[in-house]
Chains A and B, each alone.
Chain A
Amino acid sequence: QVQLVESGGGVVQPGGSLRLSCAASGFTFSDYGMHWVRQAPGKGLEWVTFIRYDGSNKYYTDSVKGRITVSRDNSKNTLYLQMNSLRAEDTAIYYCARREGFYFDYWGQGTLVTVSS
């Protein structure tokens, strides 16, 4: 069965960096594009970024451009999110999700990132 397991969340100071990982199993990871979606405490879902199945193209929401980078290692079945220059407003649960067509068919359980001094 499809499984997506995020890790790497934690508490970081404003201006700091963090790298999230999403370990995929139960499907051929290299065949699928992948997303990161975040959810601030008590707030709605916000799409963050998408990377194509081969890493050739990446797309970002405006508020993270230049600070957050998505990447993947298909040999390790793992998706990454490198977050730099973190701000309080980046505090959220970060979910990885698999792309199928133009929707998100499987989601991980999420990892919490807290940006606070």
Chain B
Amino acid sequence: QSALTQPPSVSGSPGQSVTISCTGTSSDVGNYNRVSWYQQPPGTAPKLMIYEVSNRPSGVPDRFSGSKSGNTASLTISGLQAEDEADYYCSSYTSSSTWVFGGGTKLTVL
């Protein structure tokens, strides 16, 4: 049950786009379209941003998008805004009937 691999940090200026990667294995990310992404501003609970690789819940801006290729999923945030500054986590269902999270990525809006 090793954590999925995310970059520790990414940054971008307002209006730019950033992409956060999430690498797993053929037992989790690569085997299922069951990847989700969560946003966590400091001191708050996580919030669902993307589910089933590329679907957005109601209320999440379309600036947030998700994709997957092989064992790596990605979250792209376009038109970066100051309010997007937060920690982001990916998660995947696994072949062991468990769930696993990534280590988290801190997004800084310059």
Chain B residue numbers with a CB within 8 Å of A61 are 1, 98
Using A103-B34, A107-B45, A107-B47 as known contacts, say yes or no to A44 and B89 having CB atoms under 8 A apart: yes
Tell whether B64 is near chain A: CB-to-CB under 8 Å.
Answer: no
Docked Cα-Cα span, A109 to B43, in Å, equals 9
* Binding-face segment, A16-24, A45-53, A70-78: A45-53
Chain A residue numbers with a CB within 8 Å of B102 are 44
Using A44-B89, A47-B98 as known contacts, say yes or no to A103 and B51 having CB atoms under 8 A apart: yes
Using A50-B99, A62-B1 as known contacts, say yes or no to A104 and B45 having CB atoms under 8 A apart: no
Query: B98 contacts A104, CB within 8 Å?
Result: no
**Total contacts A-B at CB 8 Å:** 65
Chain A residue numbers with a CB within 8 Å of B3 are 44, 46
Query: A104 contacts B91, CB within 8 Å?
Result: yes
Docked Cα-Cα span, A50 to B91, in Å, equals 14
Nearest CB in chain B: distance from A26 CB, A: 16
Tell whether B48 is near chain A: CB-to-CB under 8 Å.
Answer: yes
Identity of the chain A residue whose Cβ is nearest the Cβ of B46 in the assembled complex: A107
Tell whether B69 is near chain A: CB-to-CB under 8 Å.
Answer: no
Using A45-B46, A104-B91, A108-B45 as known contacts, say yes or no to A59 and B98 having CB atoms under 8 A apart: yes
Nearest CB in chain A: distance from B55 CB, A: 9
Query: A47 contacts B45, CB within 8 Å?
Result: no
Using A95-B46, A107-B47 as known contacts, say yes or no to A45 and B101 having CB atoms under 8 A apart: yes
Chain A residue numbers with a CB within 8 Å of B18 are none
Tell whether A101 is near chain B: CB-to-CB under 8 Å.
Answer: yes
Q: Which interface residue of B40, B46, B57 has the most chain A CB atoms within 10 A?
A: B46
Footprint of A on B, CB under 8 Å? 1, 3, 32, 34, 36, 38, 40, 45-48, 51-52, 57, 87, 89, 91, 93, 97-104
6 more contacts with CB within 8 A, not counting A45-B89, A95-B46, A106-B48, are: A44-B89, A59-B97, A100-B51, A102-B93, A104-B36, A105-B48
